[in-house]
Structure 1
């Protein structure tokens, strides 16, 4: 909760994060400074009060932005806020293009889809939320602040994700939309960030340990040395990609991470969730592979003497031969690591599923705030 120091009419702005996971962290970073930004950008004579609250653990999926706006409007009425802005990690669309934000002056609420903002979500939220609050108050004819002296489309110059604004400006029902091509790319990268791949990487720690144990054992067999020497770079690359693909597929199947369309989850949204899950796991497993590769190179250099390797391969060797040996060993070890992934804590692995939101430990819903 933040209060500005000026005396004058008070305007209470509610900032709702749903689900209380990644959106809550963005909201926490924004809440501390939102009152000051509203004072600078909207009206310094108003006493701005920002109240932070948490929405549902699993927000409604079947109604898109309109359902979120209805839910937040009810929350705003119950909490007696003047306006409310919802931050969500749901990927929203309108006219087959990613929806960045939507305002409703009638309901005095707005919703912002964080994934549509791309990678710099907090920085973009700092720019767009004060504009949305100003727009809501202007379109709702709130006399406590002067009317906004700019058109809604000017927000696009401050937020790269906003390509155009559509809707009824007079009625205050506005949709801020990204482009179809670059917007989809930005949305996917934003979904991966919202899914926190670092959390998935930490969740695969046992897998990495198991794979490294498999790699260390494989390094002691000269058959692997000869295989690495015989295979070319293209075949080694194919083996690596097959190993990583098999690992991602195994994680999805073994831990039931695949989102299935149902009455509450439209087919398009399920596809978006599954793509976000695949990309998150692909990034986490790729980083794990690099860590495994680096460890295997070090182990090979320490365990295998150059003279022994030369005797087995019957030719002079250099450091690239150790890299090749680590390459094939790491690729084969990822398959062994996949078996070890079955030993992972279920919650840590399921956290990689984009549509999965565990009960928030430590968060509290300030419905009376």
Structure 2
């Protein structure tokens, strides 16, 4: 550190990820670059120090944003941070619309709900967090820098489709528009729930379904069924297979969130919707992989002349696609029953409200 840097005032910004799962990944990326962004957008005459830490694995749900801000404020005081920003995957609401962020000048803390930022959460957080730090320091009338340096930008102008509202005691909230905000919230929940992890968790099911399709392809009755059924009925069979698989995963592994004293009904509904959308996306991708593999196996296993003899007409590539379609759909129904063989911990990770104890992240206060 140079002599001039030692004489610059230091401001410590804490980034708290709660739960320390997906939010911790965003916090880690943001921590590495936040000091430079604060110097560029807030004040270059300050020596910015960014600390990264964990919040609770299961943050309090019953108190909403106020409980979250209280917990972060306690952490800020204990670690002697000047301001603290909490990144969370909790979907929060205020007056029936999604709450994107909130700042509390008296507590010198702020919160960002990552799902409310939509799919591009890291990019939106990069735009929002420096403005929130600026706002907190402005509201606190920090004297270590000239007041002219703390003219906060409007975060609402940097993140699309959000609006600024003033809460009690001068606290600022940022809410999403009713329609676009809800759609973006659901998309953000699926993104935060990491559907790729759920997809990997269904690997045993996919292997078992491949085995079922290989067996079904050797049965000429299935060939005739595929030829007799029209596109509408095949679509219905496929949809029923996917619905049955998602429902079975939820029931067999206890993924359904029930309202209780800690989880309000509205939050439980959002958690369940996030779980359903995540599993639906994962099973749909699994189905497409299964379908593509089945088409390849059918082309290698069934000779055109044999298929023509069974169907008693000329065949082309659409017949192989139809055959793969029906066998994949039937195998998906069978896979729903076999999904109980999946690893419990891996499948439970698809539940939006479930967060396992972190194994790869380290909190700075622990070492």
CA contact (8 A) 1:7 1:46 kept: no
Residues 143-162 of structure 1: pairs in structure 2 closer than 5 A: 143-145=143-145, 146-147=147-148, 150=151, 154-161=154-161
| Aligned CA distance change for structure 1 residues 149 and 51 (closer, same or farther; 3 Å) | closer
- What SS does structure 1 have at the residue aligned with 2:364? coil
What displacement does 1:364 show? 2.6
Identify which of 223, 239, 247 aligns with 1:241. 239
Distance in structure 2 (CA, Å) of the matches to 1:57 and 1:229? 52
What residue number does 2:166 align with?
A: 167
What is the aligned partner in structure 2 of residue 253 from structure 1? Answer: 251
Q: Is the 8 A contact 2:138 2:151 kept in 1?
A: no
Alignment match, 1:338? 336
Alignment of 1:67-82 (within 5 A): 67-82=67-82
Q: Which residue of structure 2 aligns with residue 232 of structure 1? A: 230
Report the TM-score when normalising by structure 1.
Answer: 0.96
Aligned-pair Cα RMSD in Å: 1.5
Deviation at 1:177, TM superposition (A): 0.6
Q: Does 1:83 align with 2:89?
A: no
Distance 1:284 1:368, change over 3 A: closer
1:79–1:368 contact (8 Å) kept in structure 2? no
Question: Distance in 2 between the 1:50 and 1:120 partners?
Answer: 22
Distance 2:78 2:313 in 1: 79
More off after superposition, 334-343 vs 37-46:
334-343
Give the equivalent residue in structure 1 for 2:269: 271
Q: How big is the shift at 1:151? A: 6.3
Deviates more, 1:51-60 or 1:359-368: 359-368
1:304-347 CA-to-partner distances (Å, cap 9, x unmatched) read: 00000001000000000000000000000001111221111100
CA shift at 1:366, angstroms?
2.7
The count of residues paired between Structure 1 and Structure 2 equals 363
Structure-2 residue corresponding to 1:111: 111
Tell me if the contact between 1:6 and 1:44 (Cα under 8 Å) persists in the aligned partners: no
Q: 1:124-176, CA deviations, whole angstroms, 9 ceiling, x for partnerless residues?
A: 00000000000000011111233566566x32221125x2101159x540001
Structure 2 Cα separation of the partners of residues 254 and 38 of structure 1? 48
Aligned-partner Cα distance in 2 for 1:351–1:159: 30
Separation in 1 of the partners of 2:42 and 2:356?
37
Aligned counterparts, 1:204-353, within 5 A:
204-353=202-351
Partner deviation per Cα, 1:22-76 (whole Å, 9 max, x = no partner): 0000000000000000001111000000000001111111111110000000000
- 1:76-103 deviations in whole A, cap 9, x for unaligned? 0000000000000000111111100000
Query: Runs of 4 or more off by more than 4 Å in structure 1?
Result: 4-7, 147-152
Following TM superposition, by how much is the alpha carbon of 1:363 offset from its aligned partner in structure 2, in angstroms? 2.0
Q: Is the Cα–Cα contact under 8 Å of residues 134 and 152 in structure 2 kept in the other structure?
A: no
Once the two structures are superposed, the pairs formed by residues 178-217 of structure 1 within 5 Å of their partners are: 178-217=176-215
Aligned partners of 1:254 and 1:297: how far apart in 2? 30
Question: Aligned to 1:353, what secondary structure does the other structure show?
Answer: coil
Higher alpha-carbon deviation: 143-152 or 119-128: 143-152
* Secondary structure, counterpart of 1:363 in structure 2: coil
Name the residue aligned to 2:51: 51
User: In structure 2, what is the Cα distance between the partners aligned to 1:113 and 1:194?
Assistant: 10
Deviation of 1:218 (Å): 0.3
Once residues 208 and 7 of structure 1 are traced to their aligned partners in structure 2, the CA distance between those partners, rounded to angstroms, is 61
Give, in whole Å, the separation in 2 of the partners of 1:214 and 1:158. Answer: 51
Matches of 1:54 and 1:216 in 2, distance apart?
A: 47
Q: Is the 8 A contact 1:138 1:148 kept in 2?
A: no
| Secondary structure of residue in 2 paired with 1:367 | helix
